[in-house]
C-alpha cells in the first residue's frame, strides 16, 4: 500500500525494536547519543568506525524526546522484557542518562538495562546514574594495558588504570546488578595467557553474571574474526561463571504493530540483522516470504538498507545515505 516514505536512514531512531536478545529477552533499544559518538573505537564494533571519539558528557538529545520515542515503542510492543539503553555509541556520554532511565521507569513497570563499555563508570555522577538500572553490562575484555589499547582504541584521556579503577569501584558497590561482557576476538584476547588474566580479573570483580560474546555481526575492522571453538572452551574453563553467548541468535523477530518497513530500518540502524531476521520483521506484518524477500531487495536497491556479508551470511544495516521507501 503506497503511503508516506520512511525517514531518511541517516536520521537516528531514538528507540527501536523490540529485538530478541540472548541475554535480555525481548528488548526495546534506546539511543541517547548520536551515531557514532563514543569513548572507544573498538575493532569489533558492529556500528562501524567511531566518528566522534570523545569523553565529553552532555545532553545530546532532550530527555522528553527520548522518553516519548520509548513510550511509542512500548505501546506497539507490549511483551517487552527490558528497555535497554545501548546507544549508537557510548550511552554514559549522555549527561541525562539517569533522567532518561528514571522517566522511563516512572511510566513502565518492566526492567531497564544499560550496555556500556565501562570507560566512564568512575567518572562524575556516572556510577550513581548507572546504579539505577536493573542490570548494567560493562565490557570486560582486556586485563592488561596493551590488549586494552589494541582492542578498544580508546580516547587519549582514557587509561587502562583509570578504566579499572572505575570498574572496581562500581562492582564493589553494585556487583549484584553487574553482568560482565567478555568479547572474545581471535588474535587479540583469546590466548591462554589473556584468558587466564581475564579470569583473574572477573574473580576479583565478582559480577553477578559473566557473558562470553563474539564478533558475529559485521565489525568495523573487516579482518576481525570470532574465536575458535577451542578458545571458547578454554575461556569457559578459565573465566569463573562464564556463560557461552558466542553462538548466533536463533530467536525469531517478535511481532510489532509498527509499520514494518520503518521498523526494519530503525532496528538495523543500531542492530544489524541476519537475512532470516529481516525477513521475519516483514513477514510478521502479513507479507508472504516471497513478498518480504522482494521488499528486502528493493530496500537495498534504494539505499535504505545495505547488505554486508559476514562468515558467508548476509546481514542488513541501515543505509548511510538518505533514501525513501514506500510503506507497506
| Integer Cα distance of 46 and 318 in angstroms | 12
| Integer Cα distance of 222 and 43 in angstroms | 9
pTM above 0.85, yes or no: no
216-248: pLDDT as tens digits: 888 889 899 999 999 999 999 999 999 999 987
pLDDT at 256: 63
pLDDT at 53 over 70: yes
pLDDT at 35: 85
Average confidence (pLDDT) over 115-141: 96
CATH fold of the domain at 260-318:
Arc Repressor Mutant, subunit A (1.10.10)
pLDDT at 326: 31
**Grid coordinates standing for 92?**
554514559
CATH of 23-244 given 3.20.20.70, 3.40.1160.10, 3.40.50.10310, 1.20.1560.10: 3.20.20.70
73-106: pLDDT as tens digits: 898 877 899 999 987 899 999 999 999 999 999 9
For residues 61 and 99, the answer to whether their CB atoms sit within 8 Å is: no
| Integer Cα distance of 186 and 208 in angstroms | 26
| Integer Cα distance of 75 and 231 in angstroms | 43
pLDDT at 283 over 50: yes
Q: At 253, is the pLDDT very low, low, confident or very high (cuts 50, 70, 90)?
A: low
pLDDT at 327: 33
**Grid coordinates standing for 127?**
556510577
Domain layout of the chain by residue ranges: 23-244, 260-318
pLDDT at 6: 38
Q: How many CA atoms, within 13 angstroms, populate the side-chain half-sphere of residue 205?
A: 35
Amino acid at each position: 500500500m503506497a503511503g508516506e516514505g520512511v525517514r531518511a536512514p541517516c536520521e537516528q531512531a531514538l528507540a527501536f525494536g523490540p529485538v530478541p536478545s540472548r541475554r535480555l529477552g525481548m528488548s526495546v533499544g534506546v539511543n541517547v547519543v548520536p551515531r557514532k559518538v563514543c569513548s572507544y573505537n573498538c575493532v569489533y564494533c558492529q556500528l562501524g568506525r567511531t566518528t566522534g571519539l570523545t569523553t565529553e558528557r552532555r545532553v545530546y538529545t532532550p530527555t522528553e524526546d527520548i522518553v516519548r520515542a520509548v513510550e511509542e515503542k512500548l505501546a506497539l510492543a507490549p511483551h517487552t522484557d527490558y528497555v535497554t539503553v545501548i546507544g549508537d555509541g557510548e550511552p554514559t556520554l549522555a549527561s541525562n542518562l539517569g533522567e532518561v532511565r528514571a522517566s522511563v521507569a516512572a511510566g513502565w513497570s518492566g526492567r531497564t538495562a544499560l550496555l556500556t563499555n565501562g570507560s566512564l563508570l568512575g567518572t562524575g555522577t556516572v556510577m550513581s546514574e548507572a546504579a539505577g538500572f536493573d542490570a548494567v553490562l560493562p565490557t570486560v575484555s582486556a586485563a592488561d594495558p596493551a590488549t586494552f589499547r589494541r582492542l578498544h582504541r580508546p580516547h587519549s584521556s582514557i587509561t587502562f588504570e583509570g578504566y579499572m579503577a572505575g570498574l572496581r569501584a562500581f562492582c564493589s558497590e553494585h556487583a549484584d546488578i553487574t553482568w560482565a561482557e567478555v568479547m572474545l576476538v581471535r588474535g587479540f584476547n583469546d590466548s591462554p595467557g589473556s584468558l587466564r588474566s581475564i579470569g583473574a580479573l572477573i574473580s576479583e570483580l565478582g559480577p553477578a553474571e559473566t557473558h562470553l560474546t563474539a564478533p558475529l555481526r559485521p565489525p568495523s575492522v573487516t579482518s576481525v574474526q570470532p574465536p575458535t571453538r577451542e578458545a571458547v572452551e578454554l575461556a569457559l574453563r578459565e573465566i569463573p561463571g562464564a556463560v557461552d553467548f558466542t553462538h548466533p541468535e536463533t530467536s525469531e523477530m517478535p511481532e510489532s504493530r509498527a509499520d514494518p518497513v520503518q521498523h526494519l530500518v530503525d532496528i538495523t540502524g543500531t542492530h544489524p540483522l541476519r537475512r532470516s531476521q529481516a525477513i521475519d520483521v516483514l513477514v510478521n506484518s502479513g507479507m508472504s516470504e516471497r513478498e518480504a524477500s522482494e521488499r528486502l531487495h528493493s530496500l537495498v536497491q534504494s539505499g535504505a538498507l545495505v547488505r554486508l556479508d559476514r562468515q558467508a551470511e548476509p546481514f542488513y544495516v541501515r543505509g548511510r545515505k538518505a533514501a525513501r521507501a514506500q510503506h507497506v
